[in-house]
Amino acid sequence: MKPLLEVNIHKLLLKNPVMTASGTFGYGPEFEDFYDPSVLGGIVVKGTTGQLRQGNPYPRMAETPMGMLNAVGLQNKGVDGFIKDIYPKISHYNTHMIVNVSGSTVEEYIEVAEKINALEHIPAIELNISCPNVKEGGMAFGTSCPSAIAVTQAVREVYKKTLIVKLSPNVTNIAEMALAVEGAGADAVSVINTLLGMAIDAETRQPVLSTITGGLSGPAIKPVALRMVWQVSKAIKIPVIGLGGIMTATDAIEFLLAGATAVQIGTANFIDPAVGPKIIAGISDYLERHQIADVRSLIGGLRTS
Amino acid sequence: MKKYIHDFEIIENREINEGHFVLVVKLSEPLPPVFPGQFAEVKIEGSPNTFLRRPLSIHDVDYAANTISLLVQRKGDGTTHLGTFKPGDTLNMVYPLGNQFHIGSAGEKVLLVGGGCGVAPLLYLGKILAKNGIKVTTLMGARKGDQLMEPEQYQRNGELLITTEDGSEGTKGFVIHHEIWRERNFAFDRVYTCGPDAMMKAVARLAARNNVPCQVSLEQTMACGVGACLCCVVDTTTGHRCTCTDGPVFDASELKNWID
């Protein structure tokens, strides 16, 4: 018998615990030549704001050992552009399409969340209070408990479906932040967004990124992400979605053992655009090899004595 | 156009001058259509600090042999390591990526201008142009004569003109100093260019002065190559666009601050 892969994130029943992370999978169609996006447990689409944004100037990316820094800065068509141009092209996918919601002000988050709430085929939003690459809003909301509570509560009032909050790792105590947003009405948390970092060109003595600092992703951050998922999952009752440097099925299993109910694949999509199904198959193989009938029994299954 | 992830077998690694080599890679099945101006994202195994794939221009395609050629400059750890790959080694590529050069109609006369390893996409472009009955002139620039990129290959596509900065071969100076640009000599319907940004901008301005369209092939730092990460943007008259999917070929007039 094939092991059961289904997991629940609040009201969402995911066919498997593998989702793709915001900003790394476009909206889905970008990867259709490589596999059918509907095989995924969920897809979190690019960060969406109230108005169209051009994002930061080039250069926006720096490669690092086992990772990369980005400073894209929420380039997107704005929520109205999303609803008009993109939503019709992705609403047929047979998976959970989740919109990552971003903003500079609480009002902007509310505006975007309200408009997305009206879309039949979007069962959840991921509130991005952790983008390190915008001057206003973003991470500023996610690095202090009072502001994280304020924006989560405000969105909770207008958003009736599953509300996921994506936490920033750029804090002293992430469990405290998770508790704060749980108390403010979040249904799940995504842990973690990128770590703030920078890259310097020694020859020119200049920063590599136009914004000087950017968000670090890739395997370089996996140990930090695992630690934070473990800390958060012990502190809160709502489900944790783990992400940060997952490249293989083994990486994904480690996140589940640390306490994640599901995982998101991010930067790995850039290295292997067909990685999604491989991770799903690899999780299934692991379960068979360990004679585990249901992936749910792995969640938080870390053995500590 | 459908994109693929394929393992190719390296059948040749040809040193062409100091700092540059050509890889010829073979697919074990018929090649899908690949157009001039497109590129591949190449995975460089065995180079610990090379995390991302490297975007490399399609230099040539041989459908009869199912081979693709890549002209590579040793620039950093990744491309230097790629230069050590030997026949029989495997190269994983995501391809064909990006848009393509626009091909005009038979009877046109066109000028292809390449600087340094920027000539990479112009070999296959010239081949397809010539096949379409278009008269091709390639203008190749290099620092010095021994830094030219296998110039004889381009003669198969038509006339070849050369400039070198030290005058060791062809006209002394940059590509823009060649007499072909003088008004009485200039007799082209279209210009295509690839090379350093400063060179391409100067070429685009000369083309504009002669009232002909100029297509430029841009190089930007990339991550995904498929339009998902939005890292490789270029500033255009319609806002930020991705070099990997909206380009790498742009009409110079679309690019902000390229033609005054």
Q: pLDDT digits over A168-222, tens only?
A: 999 999 999 999 999 999 999 999 999 999 999 999 999 999 999 999 999 999 9
Nearest to A270 among B4, B220, B223 (CB): B223
The dihedral built from the CA positions of residue A6, A7, A13 and A17, taken in this order, carries a sign that is negative
Out of B3, B233, B235, closest to residue A33 by CB: B3
State the pLDDT at residue A132: 77
Q: Is B242 on the interface with A (CB under 8 A)?
A: no
- Quick one: pLDDT at residue B193? 98
- Are residues B120 and B26 both part of a single domain? no
What pLDDT, on a 0 to 100 scale, did the predictor assign at position A305? 79
Q: Cα dist. A42→A5, A12, A85, B202 in Å?
A: 13, 10, 20, 48
Domain boundary (B97, B123, B148) is at B97
Domain of residue B81, CATH code: 2.40.30.10
Instruction: Grade residue A138 by pLDDT with cuts at 50, 70 and 90.
Output: confident
**Above pLDDT 70, what percent of chain A?**
99
Greatest CA separation found in chain A? 59
- Residue A1 has a pLDDT of 79
The fraction of chain B above a pLDDT of 70, given in percent, is: 100
Strand partners, B242: B233
Confirm whether B42 is domain-assigned.
yes
Host H or E run for residue A52 = none
> Which CATH fold topology does A7-298 show?
TIM Barrel (3.20.20)
pLDDT of B185 higher than 90:
no
Q: ∠B11-B16-B21 over CA atoms, to 5°?
A: 55
Residue pair B220/B234 in contact by the 8 Å Cβ criterion: yes
One domain, residues B209 and B136: yes
Q: Which of the four pLDDT bands, split at 50, 70 and 90, describes residue A234?
A: very high
Q: With CB atoms and an 8 Å threshold, state whether A61 touches B51.
A: no
Residue B211 shares a structural domain with residue B183:
yes
B122 and B54 both lie in a single domain: no
Candidate from A110-124, A136-150, B1-15, B55-69 with smallest mean pLDDT: A136-150
Q: Would you state the structure tokens that stand for residue A13, as one six-digit string? A: 């029943």
Same domain, B25 and B54: yes
**CB contacts, 8 Å: A218 with chain B:** 51
* B43 has a chain A CB within 8 A of its CB: yes
The answer, yes or no, to whether residue A136 has pLDDT greater than 90, is no
Q: With CB atoms and an 8 Å threshold, state whether B239 touches A54.
A: yes
Instruction: Work out the minimum CA distance from B3 to partner chain A, whole angstroms.
Output: 6
Q: What is the pLDDT of residues B160-169, one digit of tens each?
A: 999 999 999 9
User: B56 is in which domain, residue-wise?
Assistant: 4-97
Q: What are phi and psi of B214, to 5 degrees?
A: -130, 120
With beta carbons under 8 A apart, name residues in chain B contacting A24.
Answer: 224, 228-229
The domain boundary, picked from B97, B125, B145, lies at B97
What is the gyration radius of the CA atoms in chain B, in angstroms? Answer: 18
Report how far residue A170's alpha carbon sits from residue A196's, in angstroms, rounded to the nearest whole number: 7
Q: Which amino acid is at A44?
A: V
Under an 8 A CB cutoff, do A75 and B220 touch?
A: no
pLDDT at B190: 97
In a domain, B207, yes or no: yes
Q: Is B224 on the interface with A (CB under 8 A)?
A: yes
A134 vs B92 pLDDT, higher one: B92
Number of domains in chain B: 2
Contact A70 B229 (CB under 8 A): yes
- Strands A195-198 and A213-217, by their bridges, are antiparallel
In terms of domains, do B33 and B113 share one? no
Q: Domain check: are B139 and B202 in the same one?
A: yes
**In whole angstroms, what is the distance from residue A270 CA to residue A266 CA?**
8
Please check the confidence at residue B207 and state whether its pLDDT lies above 80: yes
In a domain, B83, yes or no: yes
Inter-chain contact A63–B94, Cβ cutoff 8 Å? no
- B257 touching chain A per CB within 8 A: no
Alpha carbons A282 and A290: distance in angstroms, whole number: 12
CB-CB under 8 Å, B222 with A61? yes
B1 confidence band (pLDDT: 50, 70, 90)? confident
In a domain, B46, yes or no: yes
Going by C-alpha positions, the residue among A78, A56, A140, A70 that lies closest to residue A104 is A140
Q: Among residues B179, B200, B217, which one ends one of the domains?
A: B217
Q: Which of the residues B4, B47, B75, B231 would you substitute to probe the A interface, choosing the one with the greatest number of A C-beta atoms within 10 Å?
A: B231
Using a CB-CB distance cutoff of 8 angstroms, which residues of chain B are in contact with residue A276? none
Domain at B180, CATH number? 3.40.50.80
Does residue B195 fall inside a structural domain? yes
Selecting from A67, A218, A274 the residue whose C-beta is nearest the C-beta of B5 gives A274
Average pLDDT over residues A162-166: 98
Q: If 0-12 CB within 10 Å is exposed, 13-18 middle and 19+ buried, where does residue A160 land? A: exposed
Q: Any residues with CB less than 8 A from the CB of A207 and at least 6 apart, and which?
A: A198, A199, A200, A201, A213
Q: Are residues B83 and B133 in the same domain?
A: no
Which residue in chain A has the smallest CA separation from B3?
A: A33
Residue B105 contacts A where some CB pair is shorter than 8 Å: no
Interface mutation target, options A48, A56, A63, chain B, most CBs of B under 10 Å = A63
Asked whether residue B223 is assigned to any structural domain, the reply reads no
> Which residues make Cβ contacts (< 8 Å) with residue A182, sequence separation at least 6?
A189, A236, A237, A238
User: Is residue B229 predicted with pLDDT exceeding 80?
Assistant: yes
For residue B234, the model assigns a pLDDT of: 96
How much of chain B, in percent, has pLDDT values that exceed 90?
97
Q: Is residue B225 part of a domain?
A: no
Span A92-100, average pLDDT: 97
Q: Quick one: B101 exposed, middle or buried, by C-beta within 10 A (0-12, 13-18, 19+)?
A: buried
Instruction: Tell whether B144 and B119 lie within a shared domain.
Output: yes
Mutate to test the interface with A, among B3, B51, B234 (most CBs of A within 10 A): B51
The band of B183, judged by pLDDT with boundaries at 50, 70 and 90, is confident
pLDDT score for A94: 97
Give me the pLDDT at residue B52, please. 98
Give dist(CA A17, CA A280) in Å, integer: 8
Closest of A94, A72, A64 to residue A26, by C-alpha: A72
Residues B199, B120 within the same domain = yes
**Among B50, B52, B231, whose Cβ lies nearest the Cβ of A60?**
B231
Residue B139 included in any domain = yes
Supply the residues of A annotated as catalytic.
131
Closest CA to A10 of A155, A187, A168, A207: A187
A243, A189 in Cβ contact below 8 A? no
Give per-residue pLDDT as tens, B78-119.
Answer: 999 999 999 999 999 999 999 999 999 999 999 999 999 999
Least confident span in A29-43, A135-149, B5-19, B178-192: A135-149
If you average pLDDT over residues B147-176, what whole number do you get?
A: 97
Kindly state the average pLDDT of the residues A97-102. 97
Chains A–B, number of C-beta pairs less than 8 Å apart: 89
Q: What's residue B165's pLDDT?
A: 97
What is this model's ipTM? 0.94
Contact indicator for A122, A83 with CB cutoff of 8 Å: no
| pLDDT > 90? residue A130 | no
